[in-house]
């Protein structure tokens, strides 16, 4: 049989006369709004077992999707199963809405739906995931080379609260890689510069600018209420401190480091997965001597390298917040930009680690600066 097509206005009239309107889009699409009174059945589910959803093969059925293509395919599939009174809505939900016909829609403000429209179309994100991002809080330690791209993309993605901690000021030498800052802000606190940039990018994201260096005295206050911690620090003392605090408090830590033309990224989540996930100390039980690990000021760094590593850190943070994909837990990703090569090292928890084995009591914070200096 031939499948009829109806305009949205014609479909509405038939629906009001008793026809069944079926929205064949996936659930995450329907969550953003449907034609009023439409019954939601994803196309794949409908075509897999039509009679389970629509037992009457003679009933008048109107099929609608986003733009009219999937509903036509679904109608053809139903016709092949013996359904005799089918029609596809021309132009789909887009045309229905544009015609001003009644919609069943969630209470979304225009800014939210416009700003995050590309996320909302992803099944892995959708309205539920975007709402989760907006309710999330991330701590970014450092507003420098790594913290800049991390914070930029987390704010753009719609993370609700970004707490950024850094006690440094903007220097002209920072601008080659620290993209949160501008020449006009040289001498300003980095966290205040970051707040200005990120608030202009996405005023929905709340920026908590903390002009402090992370220490044993303030680390637990900085982590309070935080869902994910991102390490953008430039020194080993801060990395060991963050690791220990995250293990103690059960927070996932997204690690990143850069050196000249290379970088590293991983996720340390031993606090929530003791015995199955490693921590930073499992990878580096002892810090290297200072002469073996010069910082960027001493060794230099290609400006795009922290940008690349920071983007990977932001990606891992978003995955953790949404609970999607496979995080870098138990894996260390190495980036060589000169050869543009990525390689991965598998990491295992160390049963002799001083902080993360199951059942081990937290040993307390130490003098991290002295520990990293070999004292």
Measured CA to CA in angstroms, residue 63 lies from 55, 79, 194 at distances of 15, 12, 49
Range of the domain at 17: 4-106
Choose between 328 and 27: higher pLDDT: 328
> Which pLDDT band, with edges at 50, 70 and 90, does 298 fall under?
low
> Which pLDDT band, with edges at 50, 70 and 90, does 291 fall under?
low
pTM of the model: 0.83
Residue 181: inside a domain, yes or no? yes
- Across 17-41, average pLDDT: 93
Is the pLDDT at 306 greater than 70? The verdict is: yes
Total structural domains within the chain = 2
Cα–Cα dist 322/286, whole Å: 33
> Which pLDDT band, with edges at 50, 70 and 90, does 106 fall under?
confident
For 19, the 3-state DSSP assignment is: coil
Residue 144: inside a domain, yes or no? yes
Residue closest to 354 by CA, chosen among 290, 299, 303, 286: 286
Predicted pLDDT at 29: 86
CATH number of the domain that 30 lies in? 3.40.250.10
Predicted pLDDT at 1: 47
Measured CA to CA in angstroms, residue 246 lies from 136, 240, 362 at distances of 17, 10, 11
Q: Check residue 218 and give left, alpha or beta (phi > 0: left; psi -120 to 50: alpha).
A: alpha
Choose between 213 and 371: higher pLDDT: 213
- Across 252-268, average pLDDT: 97
Cα–Cα dist 14/107, whole Å: 27
Residue 138: inside a domain, yes or no? yes
Share of residues in the chain with pLDDT > 90 (%): 88
Predicted pLDDT at 355: 96
> Which pLDDT band, with edges at 50, 70 and 90, does 372 fall under?
confident
> Which pLDDT band, with edges at 50, 70 and 90, does 118 fall under?
very high
Tokens (6 digits) for 304: 């795009």
Domain final residue pick, 85, 106, 127: 106
Indicate if 280 and 365 belong to the same structural domain: yes
Indicate if 293 and 151 belong to the same structural domain: yes
Indicate if 344 and 242 belong to the same structural domain: yes
CATH number of the domain that 293 lies in? 3.40.50.720
Residue 266: inside a domain, yes or no? yes
Crossing angle between the packed helical segments 190-201 and 147-157, to the nearest 10 degrees: 30
Predicted pLDDT at 296: 62
Residue 111: inside a domain, yes or no? no
339 CB burial (10 A radius; 0-12, 13-18, 19+): exposed
For 29, the 3-state DSSP assignment is: helix
Residue 113: inside a domain, yes or no? no
What b-and-e string marks burial along 240-274, b requiring 16 or more CB atoms within 10 Å of the CB? bbbbbbbbbbebbbbbbbbeeebbbbbbbbbbebb
Indicate if 93 and 122 belong to the same structural domain: no
């Amino acid at each position: 049989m031939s499948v009829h097509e109806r305009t949205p206005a014609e479909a509405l009239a038939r629906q009001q006369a008793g026809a069944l309107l079926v929205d064949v889009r996936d659930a995450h699409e329907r969550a953003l709004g449907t034609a009023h009174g439409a019954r939601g059945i994803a196309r794949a589910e409908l075509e897999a077992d039509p009679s389970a959803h629509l037992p009457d093969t003679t009933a008048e059925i109107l099929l609608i999707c986003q733009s009219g293509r999937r509903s036509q395919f679904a109608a053809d599939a139903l016709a092949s199963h013996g359904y005799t009174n089918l029609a596809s809505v021309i132009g789909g939900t887009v045309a229905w809405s544009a015609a001003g016909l009644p919609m069943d829609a969630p209470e979304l403000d225009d800014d939210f739906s416009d700003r995050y429209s590309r996320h909302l179309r992803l099944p892995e994100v959708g309205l539920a995931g975007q709402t989760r991002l907006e309710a999330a809080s991330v701590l970014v330690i450092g507003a420098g080379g790594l913290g800049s791209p991390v914070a930029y993309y987390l704010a753009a993605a719609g993370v609700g609260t970004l707490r950024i901690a850094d006690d440094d000021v903007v220097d002209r030498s920072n601008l080659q890689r620290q993209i949160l800052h501008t020449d006009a802000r040289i001498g300003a606190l980095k966290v205040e510069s970051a707040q200005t940039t990120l608030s202009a990018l996405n005023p929905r994201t709340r920026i908590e600018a903390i002009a402090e260096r992370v220490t044993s005295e303030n680390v637990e206050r900085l982590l309070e209420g935080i869902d994910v911690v991102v390490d953008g620090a430039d020194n080993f003392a801060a990395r060991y401190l963050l690791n220990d605090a995250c293990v103690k408090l059960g927070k996932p830590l997204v690690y990143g480091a850069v050196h000249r033309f290379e970088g590293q990224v991983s996720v340390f989540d031993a606090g929530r997965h003791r015995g199955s996930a490693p921590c930073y100390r499992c990878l580096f039980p002892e810090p290297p001597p200072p002469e073996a690990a010069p910082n960027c000021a001493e060794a230099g760094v290609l400006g795009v390298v922290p940008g690349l590593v920071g983007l990977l850190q932001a990606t891992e943070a978003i995955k953790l917040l949404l609970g999607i994909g496979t995080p870098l837990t138990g894996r260390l990703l190495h980036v060589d930009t000169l050869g543009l090569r990525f390689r991965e090292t598998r990491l295992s928890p160390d049963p002799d680690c001083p902080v993360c084995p199951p059942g081990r009591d937290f040993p307390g914070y130490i003098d991290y600066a002295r520990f990293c200096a070999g004292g």
